[in-house]
Amino acid sequence: MSDIQAKFPSLMGQTVVVTGGASGIGEAFVRAFFAQGSRVTFLDIDAKAGSELASELNAAGDARALFLNCDVTDIPALRSCIRRSGEELGAATILINNAANDKREEFEEVTVEDFDWMMNVNVRHHLFAIQEVLPQMRKAGWGSIINMSSPTWVGGGPDMPNYSMAKAAVVGLTNSMANRLGGDSIRVNAILPGSVITERQLRLWHSQESFDEAVKRQAIHEQLLPKHVADLALFLAADESRLISKQMFFINGGS
């Protein structure tokens, strides 16, 4: 199959904010929107990876990628970064709430502190990022918000109770915000990726063999890559999807 990326003229010159954008699926979002001619602000806790990605993208001299080192569990810092993005790159019309952590847990050993941390890193920042970016989208007259959920909450990951709970909450927030913001021409959708192979997943939780087994369980026997998720996000951000809101999009090869 061709790797050529579709072009969406409506994304040219738009300002996009991506949380957790320095690696994995988040990096794919940053690269994909930058390739469309968008101005991209991306936040991440990994200062080294984020700075290197921004330097690479801006090497041609067109500084359209702005990296801001940020821990999204620090809500004042998150708010400040989104405001700075608006000041430096213009009002954001696209927000991708991507930052997350799919830490595995033994249910019997989960503490209150573990629970609070998992909610903070996987769902709380979605709400406050939307709240902070809203004036910018209203100023622009439209917006597309993409929240990253997970099919784990649908299937019920036995070693991921807090993560599953948080990702279910992301869908609830998506539906609520879609209803509330539709009158402002702001659409809100959720993406639920399947077994996407990334360096982090291979390092922490999976092997190439386990990904191969996941592919066998899919209707389409092709490995899911971050690029495939980014392609869906481009469509959901572009004018071509302007009447699509309050939807969950599973991208899992028909798993």
Q: Return the residue matching tokens 């990876």.
A: 49
- Whole-angstrom distance, CA of residue 197 vs CA of residue 180: 35
- Whole-angstrom distance, CA of residue 222 vs CA of residue 220: 6
pLDDT digits (tens, 9 = 90+) for 20-41: 999 999 999 999 999 999 999 9
| Residue 211 confidence class, pLDDT cut points 50, 70, 90 | low
pLDDT digits (tens, 9 = 90+) for 144-201: 999 999 988 887 777 788 999 999 999 999 999 999 999 999 999 999 997 776 666 5
Answer yes or no: 192 catalytic: no
- Domain containing residue 152: 10-194+229-245
82, part of any domain: yes
121, part of any domain: yes
Overall size of the chain counted in residues = 255
Number of compact structural domains in the chain:
1
Min mean pLDDT across 93-97, 101-105, 110-114, 149-153 is at: 101-105
209, part of any domain: no
174, part of any domain: yes
| CATH code where residue 88 lies | 3.40.50.720
2, part of any domain: no
Min mean pLDDT across 10-19, 25-34, 41-50, 211-220 is at: 211-220
29, part of any domain: yes
Q: Which of 163, 167, 226, 241 is catalytic?
A: 163
219, part of any domain: no
| Residues contacting 8, CB < 8 A, separation 6+ | 36, 234, 235, 237, 238, 239, 240
**How high is the pLDDT of residue 202?**
53
207, part of any domain: no
